[in-house]
Chains A and B, each alone.
Chain A
Amino acid sequence: MGENKADVLQGTLDLMVLKTLESMGPLHGYGIARRIEQVSGDALSLNQGTIYPALLRLEQRGWVKSEWGLSETNRRAKFYSLSRTGRKQIARETENWERTAATMARFLAPSSSASN
């Protein structure tokens, strides 16, 4: 286990899940967790279990739908997919996140450029 792995930032997991579902289509919890780990290049320390409360939160808001299906190992598993409002929400969340990231970037930029 690498020591420099970052914890998942509060609130970012939701967007990661939504983004994953957007690009991958319907997926079960394990798939989503693995995909996030892979995309982040194993730089995130993700307790895979935390994906489930996040999925539930998104489902309660109506951004994600779920249905039971069969996994690759031929076992019953719950598959999650984006709903219509969820799709719209991605744009909004992305914009929010970019704005925050940009603000942070300005703060973290070399002080010479920030002074004028």
Chain B
Amino acid sequence: MFSLKSFLLGSIFFLFIPQLFAQEFTVTGTIYSEDGHVLEEAYVYLSEHKWAVTDETGFFQISSVPPGRYTITVSRLGYQKQNLDIIISSNEDDLLQIYLEELIYNNKAVVVTASRTAQELEDVPAPIDVISESEIQKSGASTLKDILLEQTGIALSPNEDNSIQMQGFESDYTLIMIDGQPLIGRTRGALDLSRINVSNVHQVEVVKGPSSALWGSDALAGVINIITRDATDPFSINAYSEYGSRNRYDLGVSTSFMKNKSSGTFGFASNGSDGFDLSEEEFGKNQNPFDAVSLNAKLKYEFSSYTSLTVSGRYFRNQFNGEAITTVADEIISIEESGWQDDSNLQVRFETSPISRLSSSVVAYSTRYEDLSDTFFEDPEEEDIRTNNRQGLDRLELQNDYSWNNKHLTTFGAGATQEFVRAERFQGERTQTGSFLFVQHQYNSNEKLYLIAGARLDNHSAYESYLSPKLAARYRINDYFTVRASFGQGFKAPDFRTLYLDFDNAGSGYRIYGTKNILSEIERFNQQSLVAVELVNDISALGSLEPEYSTSYNIGTTFLLPDEVFRFSVNAFRNNAKNLIDAREVVELVDGSTIFGYLNINEARTQGIEVESTMTLFKQLTASIGYQFLDAVELASEERTLIRNSRVVTEDVEFEVPLPKRPRHSGNIKLFYREPVFDTEFSLRGIIRGEYFFNDTNADGNAEKNVDEFVEAHTIWNLTIGKRFGTNFRVQIGSENLFNYTDSEFLRFQPGRTIFTRINFDL
């Protein structure tokens, strides 16, 4: 089919001249890309000694060609090779105009997050999404948050700025990593995804469902792994600059090199804005003005084809300032706030193959996070408040992959982690240590069946050991249909907050103590005879917390046509979460005030269906839609007094309470269109959210219209238009939230319309 098309393309521009003289001629021509750009360095071959390479104007010339019938072959890197039959019988200026079709590399995406080993995306038995570098570029996104929100099954959390929900869980339950190592620095459990600049990202891998069997704690709802780019060219430089509404700016420069055995990438990026404000009546802004910088570097040296050393690092700093209001002794006063966040990490990775069939890697990783915020009061009498919080994590990890033959691969490894947090509210520095072992076996039978089984054991100084298993299978029914099923467990360790944070608000009638201190505190009140009632049966159970965990099942199928012309996938999931930690009133004191403690009491269930479909309608138009149905409930049980057979009885009744702030229906629409005449790329993305209830206002566990507060169904549209100028420049203009949808009451983190322009330079 293709050769017929090339033949037609070539024939249009070919001049048939009758053979008149038996002499030698000069053959000339120009080689173009399909969209009309001249192509230099194209190789034009006529016969063994008659060939040429095009110059910077795409022109070539082959002299001393005897007349006759020839097959001319034109090839160039990145384009389809073309063969044309021609007859040479005269000298003709610019005789041939040959248009080459761009070669679309159907590069099969390779992912690592699902098995800790490189696997082709379509092979992976677990639900996984990959966001490619080109998708990030086409959208014009600058931070991880922007691009994640456009994915099916990921929603912006209404609770914390720039954090996400996955499979019905808040962001505390999703592990976020860079090159397989965890990021730290969470606020109330949420990691600010706008801290991660995507300009050096090769791809983002999103595994949905628990993955603690590979990655340990926090991978309960899923894992987001950011894979940074490796150098692929001898030398390249990239610079971009963006400016948009509310003085939003984003600029950066990055460079990479590859020479002999060493390669590296370096990048600098800076972004910021004036923040945004949805309601003038409300004091302060929804987002404070900020300025952030980030630096990254990656250096790799290859000692041999299977031994290499990679050192990579990243530094981020964000500075903010703004105004807010607060309540001091029941009086509302305005305050000024300013501060910064600092986030850095360093990773050293050594890979080698000590014996045949075994590849090993050792990773040393260190990351630090610090934030500082100052609160200034207008009243000079009032003392300014400074809070400072430091966290760190150091890890050493070893992984071995042994391939028994082309069907069996065993992965095993171990590691040790040390974590600390230092903050006034934690009374100084707190340290925890942990170690882990993991093993996994993969079986791949002649492309049809693929099985993975694995488990990980986590030992920890602050809680009991935890074993997470997983089992996953993929079966390829035929060339088009694949089915997948997986089972796994995910856990989340009790964090520093639940272990150590003491908060004494005796003025408001309550105190909260961390698990490590609560027993001694209650004992202290007991000795002073201040305890009135113990509100839980077993007070001593407060002294230790177990990890929260979830058992999860995923089953799905994919229908795929060749060349990814059409792809349809559906995945059903169910997570049964147990031991969820909640603060409860545990002791009432004689003065009527209460003490709160943390308990493993809550249970939740989330289940749903995700559907994704992508189709390439013409070569220029790609459309995709995604949909998620979500049913997320907390499972509660309560002692209830009721009448059975005319007698009053008290029994435990189990009931479900819908979890708020989660749309039942959500989805997205994405259209990418490459307009061929002016070579312009259009990317339109719609993020659709169904209606959901925000607050259970009367606290009866039911969502009721007119009583509870509902967020109405809405769609946020983002549009980006990009055009290339020459081979080096790309200009984009775009609008986020094109139709300016805002809701100052509930969607507090959704800014209004942003218009931006972006210039990108590549060399």
Q: Do A and B come from one complex?
A: no
A residues within 8 Å of B by Cβ?
Answer: none
B residues within 8 Å of A by Cβ?
Answer: none
